[in-house]
């Protein structure tokens, strides 16, 4: 179903396969906090729009089902849903009817009652994997428990799709795990809060994703949100990146709902060579990276 393996999958023979073209899409919408019914309607409309353009893979923002800026844990709990709850059931029906692969974020109530900032991957109506955000941003720790599993890499009907959420991508070790797992494309539901940056510069969140795409030679589809929420503005920086790290669509950087699409050969991500002598995964020197496995208290950079 899903994999997250410690070593790179072999790309032998990958260059001999052409692979079919896939239309990937990032749907930038404006969920409202606590507006579960309205958010389902927003997602439904977004997926219908994507399907009208013949999208094969659609990525929606982080917490698309619930909105983001909760007042307190009680409010988060009031809109949380189990994996088999009404939102994921409707998304599964839409994925089946519209014949697409969907990655979307939701506020999950776990079997033990803990809340998680999660996303789900649905392949033509079948829930294939759920991921719980491992790296919590700012106040998220007041509402959510951290996930304790690495990013899944799922063999879908389109190719190998990995997923993680927002702040997760700021940790190169985490995006590398998706690359080592053999991901053709990394799907990133995100809510990027707007922060000051020099005029003319891209959001740093987008720059980090460009580096991750290039370093792992994989496609990236990031769906950001828009629409102010309780005084928080958003980057609105949805983007689709190629394995060279350069944008194929976006970044949008706009406070409006819209759909980004790009037609790609996902199989191209299985070629990891960048010169006649270099391969981005097999050139690694894990025996020299011991510092990465130490607890942060032991790190010389710790405060």
Bridge partner residues of 202 (DSSP): none
| Total length of the chain | 303
Residue among 62, 81, 108, 140 flagged as catalytic? 62
| Cα distance between residue 239 and residue 74, in whole Å | 33
Residue 287 is a catalytic residue? no
* Dihedral pair phi/psi, residue 259, rounded to 5°: -115, 125
Angle 132-134-140 (CA atoms, 0-180°, nearest 5)? 90
- What six digits make up the tokens of 172? 């190169």
Residue among 108, 166, 226, 272 flagged as catalytic? 166
- What six digits make up the tokens of 127? 């829930």
- What six digits make up the tokens of 290? 């011991």
Residue 272 is a catalytic residue? no
| Alpha helices for 70-113 (secondary structure H) | 73-79, 86-98
| Cα distance between residue 66 and residue 76, in whole Å | 8
| Cα distance between residue 151 and residue 165, in whole Å | 9
Q: Which residues contact 45 (CB under 8 A, 6 or more apart)?
A: none
| Cα distance between residue 101 and residue 98, in whole Å | 9
Residue among 133, 205, 226, 229 flagged as catalytic? 133
Residue 71 is a catalytic residue? no
Residue 134 CB neighbours (<10 A): 18
> Catalytic residues, which ones?
62, 133, 166
């Amino acid at each position: 179903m899903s994999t997250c393996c410690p070593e790179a999958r072999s790309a032998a023979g990958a260059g001999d396969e052409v692979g079919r073209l896939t239309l990937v899409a990032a749907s930038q919408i404006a969920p409202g906090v606590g507006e579960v019914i309205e958010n389902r309607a927003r997602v439904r409309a977004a997926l219908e729009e994507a399907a009208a353009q013949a999208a094969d893979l659609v990525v929606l923002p982080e917490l698309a089902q619930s909105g983001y800026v909760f007042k307190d844990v009680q409010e988060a709990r009031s809109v949380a849903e189990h994996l088999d709850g009404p939102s994921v059931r409707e998304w599964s029906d839409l994925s089946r009817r519209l014949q697409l692969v969907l990655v979307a974020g939701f506020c999950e109530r776990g079997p033990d009652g803990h809340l998680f900032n999660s996303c789900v991957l649905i392949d033509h109506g079948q829930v294939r994997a759920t991921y719980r955000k491992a790296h919590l941003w700012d106040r998220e720790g007041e509402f959510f428990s951290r996930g304790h599993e690495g990013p899944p890499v799922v063999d879908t009907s389109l190719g190998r799709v990995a997923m993680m959420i927002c702040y997760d991508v700021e940790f190169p070790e985490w995006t590398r795990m998706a690359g080592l797992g053999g991901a053709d494309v990394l799907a990133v539901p995100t809510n990027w809060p707007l922060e000051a940056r020099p005029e003319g510069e891209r959001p740093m969140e987008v720059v980090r994703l460009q580096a991750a795409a290039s370093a792992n030679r994989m496609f990236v589809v990031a769906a950001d949100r828009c629409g102010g929420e309780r005084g928080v503005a958003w980057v609105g920086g949805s983007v689709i990146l190629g394995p060279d790290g350069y944008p194929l669509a976006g970044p949008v950087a706009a406070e409006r709902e819209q759909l980004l699409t790009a037609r790609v050969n996902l199989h191209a991500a299985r070629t990891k060579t960048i010169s006649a002598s270099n391969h981005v995964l097999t050139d690694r020197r894990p025996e020299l990276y011991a510092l990465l496995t130490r607890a942060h208290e032991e790190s010389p950079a710790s405060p």
